Amino acid sequence: MAAGATQVEHGHEHPEGVFHQFENIDQQNESYIVGMWTFLVTEVMFFGPLFLAYILYRWQFQEYFWRTHKLLNIWLGGANTLILLFSSFTMAMGVHFAMKKDSRRQIAFLGITALCGVAFLVIKLAFEWPSKFAHHLYPGPNFAWPPHDGYDQATLALLRDVPSGAAEMFFSLYFGITGLHGIHVLVGVLCIGTIIVMKFLKFPQVEPYIPTEMVGLYWHFVDLVWIFLYPLFYLMPR
Amino acid sequence: MLSLHLAQFNLPFQPEQASEFAKPYDDLFWATTGLTVFFTLVVVAMLTVFCIRYRHGRKADRSNQLTSHMMLEATWTVVPFVLGVFMFFWAAKLFVDQRVPPKDAMELYVIGKQWMWHIQHPNGVRENQQMHVPTGKPIKLIMISQDVIHSFFIPAFRIKQDVIPGRYTVQWFTATKPGKYAIFCAEYCGAKHSEMGGYVYVLSPAEYRAWLATGGEKVVAAKQTPVEIGKELWDRYRCQTCHVETDTVYGPSVHGLVGKTRKFTDGSSAVADREYIREAILDPYKRLNEGYGKTMPEYKGELNEEQVLALYEYIRSLGAPPTPSAPTVASASKSGSGGNL
Amino acid sequence: MSATVVGKAEVERPEPGPNYLTNGQTIASWLLTKDHKRIAMLYLISISVFFAIGGFAASLIRAELISPRGVMLESETYNRVFSLHGIVMVFFFLVPSIPATLGNFLVPMMVGARDLAFPRLNLLSWYIYVAGGILMILAMCMGGVDTGWTFYTPYSSLYSNSQVTLAVFAAFLAGFSSIFTGVNFIVTIHRMRAPGMTWFRLPLFVWAHYATSVIIILGTPVVAITLLMLFGERVLKLGFFSPELGGDPVLFQHLFWFYSHPAVYIMILPGMGVISELITCFSRRRIFGYEFVAFSTLAIAGLGFLVWGHHLFVSGQSMYQGMVFSIITFLVGVPSAIKVFNWATTIYKGSVRLQTPMLYALGFIGLFLIGGLTGLYLASMATDIMLTDTYFVVAHFHFVMVGGAVMAMMGGLHFWWPKITGRMYPDNWGKLSAAIIFIGFNLTFLPQFVVGYLGMPRRYHYYFLWPEFQPYHLLSTAGATVLAVGYLLPVCYLMWSLKYGKKAGDNPWGAKGLEWQTSSPPPTENFPVVPVVTEEAYNYDPELAEKEETLADKLEHGLEAKEDEK
């Protein structure tokens, strides 16, 4: 017998649906959840430096950032916030029904969540961002500052004194962070879509709620990032 | 010492000691070396002795196996820790000495650009790729880059500091030994990074004065002091159109500006120093003076760092404005830029 | 319980079943494998390719430096060569090296599992690595990059007209490969240990990979986003890091080094894990101070995140910031010192075999020690002023990275080669190569300490204004030539051993550890039955070991092994 270890009759078969490297379904489920949490840690570190850059440059340009932020549409941003908050609720419901193995309700709630994600992206990409592009308010060689139209006179007057460097930095950060966040929302929508499709095709799964729970964790994280973004960019106090 | 013996073979082991920093620096360096050698020998001895003594096949006492011993662990935790803290304080103190220039230091401007160094003396003498300095006097280098990050490094003085764009950095030294020593650029800056070196010539004070007066060979003869150059630029760019002795609706006065506090449109304020004045010339809208709009042209790309420094010197030479009604300043420019030694 | 006696079959296996190498012999079975051992081999091949590329660049550098005016390259080309050397060696060799090869192969076996937690993620991480590697080679073929592996702004974002964008993106991809490996290890070590395998029975190799993985997941995303910001600045003129665009070049340095300093611990900790395995096996002794070594590993990982500013002492950060970084840098050296002393004491009263892996381990301890101690000069703020950005730093990091990490990888490769391939290599050639590497390495890098202190800055192509540096460069290049020979020899005899080497048997070294309880090469599922662990790690008995002759001992003494043919 090998020193330091005794034999345990386990054989080579394992329960159906459990992947070959795992001993039992519990180990498999736990592993996937721990894996997703670990991945979310990397996501925190990924967004972190952008938030740090935001803090540093806002500290440098306090007044000018406040004036520039007035160009953002707090109503559209607010709508997006409500949409994402609601979608987190529907996502949680989706996970709940997945655990109860209620496929129909699971698919329904996941579907609503995905639709919310799409709505978020539509508002951002079809309404918010194009208005910025139309006024050449994106950073780069074509940045046009100060804006001459498209906003009310009071705002325009305020913006005249803002140095273009400060405004461009604001928009660099704005597009950078919300763009990265938008990509994450898109990825989330695609993952939810994949789960729905797999359910329709009746992919055999022993514990089907695990993928849903994993995507749920990811979705809540993406929502959380937005909860930070919205006040920092749209609701900046003076 | 060992280095002297080896120097006989023309194989130098340490650079010349040509500044007041060099000896304290080398003391710390060789102390660290002693520590390094000592611990290396200790560990190598342990490994050698144990590997030989306990080699498979050799009779030795292998009973009473020990796999933990708190005192031993404590010792080799605490001793390195204590040594480290001690070295930290020694080195930090030396660092602070090296980074805080004395108030009466003579100022020299150093501008780095791809791929050469411009040095400017207070009386206007300009040099490229070389620097003449006197012994015995603290010299403060005020440095900035025209483009990418460089680093101004003189091994014989044991000094080095990165030279960055957009911001002035400072280092200082007091040269002690006449001679010719190497200057290097020590931060990779592109194709000719390794050709961006030169020499610093340390002269006795008398020799230095003589050199300065005649402008030396291979240097741009000092036809003008920085103040004069600054005035010329001032006139050429017609700054007096908006900046006169008192504040007007076109522009604030720059008389007695150095040391004065300016208030900006975003509510913040700053004391007008070299950094601020540079920014105000190159990028005036970054912090706009309260009460003014965007009327001043931006000189970024139009004036280089040398010219900015000359304008600063000129502005510094403009004392408090003559009329009492104009804002006065507490610390008028006393240390004029006449380049007096 | 009987001690492990090599040569006897541990389990009554009727006949040798397929092992992981023979189980499926098509290209597809390799390229679509989920077996961590095969993925480890895929990594080994690709990492060796990049080591060769980086090594070739190094030979060009050393060739150029023998003359103050260079030999055959223009400065523009030389700058691209040293940048390639750095980028390839750091991102495509050192960071993945031990974790992706030995780690992938051994971590599941050492914890008693059949595979990592996420085998397909493991394969994906290899493909991402290869994709990044191909982009890097493409960048090299399209002219290369001349910013140095550190990509300092504003040179890299606004001034350089080389393939910065492509190279940055390649490094970005390599980072994700690393992250996925890290996630895999963390979950495996937390959740898939065999029954009885408590944390404190784990081999220190596993502790090392756990700590490394924590650094990976916390640090790598930061460099990923930094590189993305650099990409944005270069392509879209977003102004984060260039004063001309309103940004701050020192911010780039802070963000870059926030990852890149912990990255060096990613490179060394797995090597330290290997050394713990080698020293214990070849002294036949339990590790001295197991908990101290384990906690020191975690301490290095933790403290390593707090010292990045020691790369910025002369960069324009404030004195007070510098002091904080300096004192913590001194602190982070303490756990490494603890480990070195623990390893040395492990040998005391052992039963020492000086076979090839042990020679690498001993070399590691000496060279890593020198490398770490020369770090003290750089941690000291005052001495750093003079030495930073000179060849002193170059020598320092090569001592820890090459004299440390690469030696550890060589030692580990030689130790686990029989397990991986089922074959022994000729130990004499192994020892000869180890000696050549040791001599060549010292000859290459010791003169660089001196020439750095004399003032020779790094990344210099020419030094014709200061020809007194030349003797040191001549010594260094001579050493590099010897070193190159030392690295080429193992390629030859290891390849030779695949066909002609003696069959190794389950445990030719007489080592403890779960990986040695299964066949060499192991079967795809690692263990026919899942082991239950009842003993502490490194449960060696040197007095007993004195009386034993393992297969390796026999081969060393030139005696034929009798009972090894399986």
Question: Do residue B192 and residue B231 come from a single domain?
Answer: no
| Total-model pTM | 0.88
Does A24 contact B at CB distance below 8 Å?
Answer: no
Chain B residues with CB under 8 Å of A63 CB are 265-268
Put simply, the answer to whether B266 touches A164 (Cβ < 8 Å) is no
C525 alpha-carbon distance from chain centroid? 27
List pLDDT tens digits, range A197-212.
888 887 766 677 888 9
Range of the structural domain that residue C324 is part of: 33-556
What does the DSSP assignment read for B164-225? Answer: -BTS-EEEEEEB-S-EEEEEEE-S--STTGGG--EEEEEE-HHHHHHHHHHT-SSSB---S-
Specify if C17 maps to a domain.
no
Strand partners, B128: B118
CA A25, CA A18: separation in Å to the nearest integer? Answer: 6
Specify if C19 maps to a domain.
no
Helix (H) or strand (E) holding C115: none
Chain C residues with CB under 8 Å of B62 CB are 349-351, 542-543, 546
Selected residue of A13, A20, A22, A31 to mutate for chain C interface (largest C Cβ count, 10 A): A31
Reported confidence tier of residue B323, pLDDT bands at 50, 70, 90: low
CA B303, CA A89: separation in Å to the nearest integer? Answer: 59
Q: What's the gap in Å between the CA of B83 and the closest CA on chain C? A: 9
Write down the pLDDT at residue C565.
42
Reported confidence tier of residue B65, pLDDT bands at 50, 70, 90: confident
Q: Are C186 and C214 in contact (CB under 8 A)?
A: yes
Angle, in degrees to the nearest 10, between helices C391-398 and C427-453: 160
Chains that touch B (3 or more CB pairs under 8 A): A, C
Write down the pLDDT at residue C366.
96
Q: What's the gap in Å between the CA of C51 and the closest CA on chain B? A: 24
The average pLDDT across A106-130 equals 94
First-residue to last-residue Cα distance in chain B: 37
Specify if C122 maps to a domain.
yes
Q: What is the CATH number of the domain that holds C255?
A: 1.20.210.10
**Burial of C30 by CB count in 10 Å (0-12 exposed, 13-18 middle, 19+ buried)?**
middle
Number of domains in chain C: 1
Specify if B165 maps to a domain.
yes
Specify if B72 maps to a domain.
no
Specify if C26 maps to a domain.
no
Put simply, the answer to whether A3 touches C115 (Cβ < 8 Å) is no
Domain end, chosen from B158, B185, B220, is at B220
Alpha-carbon torsion (C412, C413, C417, C419), positive or negative: positive
Selected residue of C114, C177, C256, C284 to mutate for chain A interface (largest A Cβ count, 10 A): C114
Write down the pLDDT at residue C522.
92
Write down the pLDDT at residue B320.
67
Specify if B21 maps to a domain.
yes
Question: Do residue B27 and residue B116 come from a single domain?
Answer: yes
Phi first, then psi, for residue C78 (nearest 5°) are: -55, -45
Question: Do residue B158 and residue B302 come from a single domain?
Answer: no
Interface list for B 42-71 with A (CB within 8 A): none
CA C447, CA B184: separation in Å to the nearest integer? Answer: 20
Chain C residues with CB under 8 Å of B61 CB are 349
Q: What's the gap in Å between the CA of C448 and the closest CA on chain A? A: 36
Specify if B67 maps to a domain.
no
Interface list for C 83-102 with B (CB within 8 A): none
Question: Do residue B171 and residue B241 come from a single domain?
Answer: no
Nearest residue of C to residue A37, measured between CA atoms? C183
Q: Are B256 and B323 in contact (CB under 8 A)?
A: no
Range of the structural domain that residue B109 is part of: 13-52+101-220
Strand partners, C547: none
**Which of B108, B132, B130 is closest to B213 using CA atoms?**
B132
CB contacts < 8 A, B to C, total 275
Say which DSSP state C146 is in.
-
Question: Do residue B246 and residue B302 come from a single domain?
Answer: yes
Write down the pLDDT at residue C452.
94
**Burial of C12 by CB count in 10 Å (0-12 exposed, 13-18 middle, 19+ buried)?**
exposed
Chain A residues with CB under 8 Å of C184 CB are 35
Specify if C444 maps to a domain.
yes
Nearest residue of A to residue B265, measured between CA atoms? A161
Residue from the list B266, B283, B293 with its beta carbon closest to the beta carbon of A64:
B266
Residue from the list B267, B286, B293 with its beta carbon closest to the beta carbon of A163:
B286
Domain end, chosen from B220, B248, B277, is at B220
Helices (H) and strands (E) in chain B, counts: 7, 12
Angle, in degrees to the nearest 10, between helices C249-283 and C356-379: 150
CA C115, CA C93: separation in Å to the nearest integer? Answer: 24
Selected residue of B269, B285, B300 to mutate for chain A interface (largest A Cβ count, 10 A): B285
Specify if B26 maps to a domain.
yes
Higher pLDDT: B288 or A127? It is A127
Q: Is the pLDDT of residue B268 over 50?
A: yes
Q: Which domains does chain A have, with CATH numbers?
A: 43-234 (1.20.120.80)
Write down the pLDDT at residue B39.
95
* Segment among A71-80, A149-158, A184-193, C502-511 with least mean pLDDT: A149-158
Interface list for C 240-259 with A (CB within 8 A): 240, 245-248, 251, 255, 258
Q: Mean pLDDT of successive 10-residue segments in chain C (566 residues)?
A: 39 60 86 94 96 96 94 92 96 96 96 93 97 96 93 90 93 96 96 92 96 96 94 86 85 95 96 96 94 96 96 91 95 96 94 95 97 95 94 97 96 96 94 97 96 94 90 95 96 94 91 90 87 88 88 78 43
How much is the mean pLDDT over chain A?
Answer: 87
Write down the pLDDT at residue A157.
82
CA A203, CA A189: separation in Å to the nearest integer? Answer: 19
Put simply, the answer to whether C319 touches B95 (Cβ < 8 Å) is yes
Question: Do residue B275 and residue B165 come from a single domain?
Answer: no
Write down the pLDDT at residue B92.
93
Specify if B83 maps to a domain.
no
Interface list for C 400-419 with A (CB within 8 A): none
Strand partners, B162: B151
How much is the mean pLDDT over chain B?
Answer: 83
Interface list for C 484-543 with A (CB within 8 A): 512, 514, 517, 525, 528-535, 539
Residue from the list B56, B91, B161 with its beta carbon closest to the beta carbon of C314:
B161
Does B283 contact A at CB distance below 8 Å?
Answer: yes
Put simply, the answer to whether B294 touches A160 (Cβ < 8 Å) is yes
Strands B169-174 and B130-134, bridge-based pairing: unpaired
Question: Do residue B31 and residue B172 come from a single domain?
Answer: yes
Which residues, in sequence order, are CB contacts of B272 under 8 Å at separation 6+? B257, B258, B259, B260, B261, B262, B280
Nearest residue of C to residue B92, measured between CA atoms? C381
* Tokens found for residue C18: 């397929």
Q: What is the CATH number of the domain that holds B29?
A: 2.60.40.420
Selected residue of A7, A9, A45, A168 to mutate for chain C interface (largest C Cβ count, 10 A): A45
Strand partners, B160: B153
Specify if C63 maps to a domain.
yes
Q: Are C256 and C349 in contact (CB under 8 A)?
A: no
Question: Do residue B199 and residue B293 come from a single domain?
Answer: no
Nearest residue of C to residue A171, measured between CA atoms? C238
Question: Do residue B18 and residue B144 come from a single domain?
Answer: yes
Specify if C349 maps to a domain.
yes
**Burial of C107 by CB count in 10 Å (0-12 exposed, 13-18 middle, 19+ buried)?**
buried
List pLDDT tens digits, range B149-181.
999 999 999 999 999 998 999 999 999 999 999
Nearest residue of A to residue C530, measured between CA atoms? A8
Q: Are C277 and C415 in contact (CB under 8 A)?
A: yes
Specify if B308 maps to a domain.
yes
Question: Do residue B175 and residue B280 come from a single domain?
Answer: no
Residue from the list C159, C326, C546 with its beta carbon closest to the beta carbon of B190:
C159
Does C64 contact B at CB distance below 8 Å?
Answer: no
Domain end, chosen from B190, B220, B250, is at B220
Chain B residues with CB under 8 Å of A161 CB are 265, 288, 293-294
Q: Is the pLDDT of residue B221 over 70?
A: no
Amino acid at A79: A
* Tokens found for residue B75: 């010792």
Question: Do residue B181 and residue B47 come from a single domain?
Answer: yes
* Segment among B50-54, B152-156, B284-288, C464-468 with least mean pLDDT: B284-288
Write down the pLDDT at residue C559.
63
Question: Do residue B300 and residue B175 come from a single domain?
Answer: no
CB atoms under 10 Å from CB of B268, counted, come to 13
Number of domains in chain B: 2
- As for the ipTM of the complex, it is 0.89
Specify if B331 maps to a domain.
no
Put simply, the answer to whether B268 touches A163 (Cβ < 8 Å) is no
Specify if C2 maps to a domain.
no
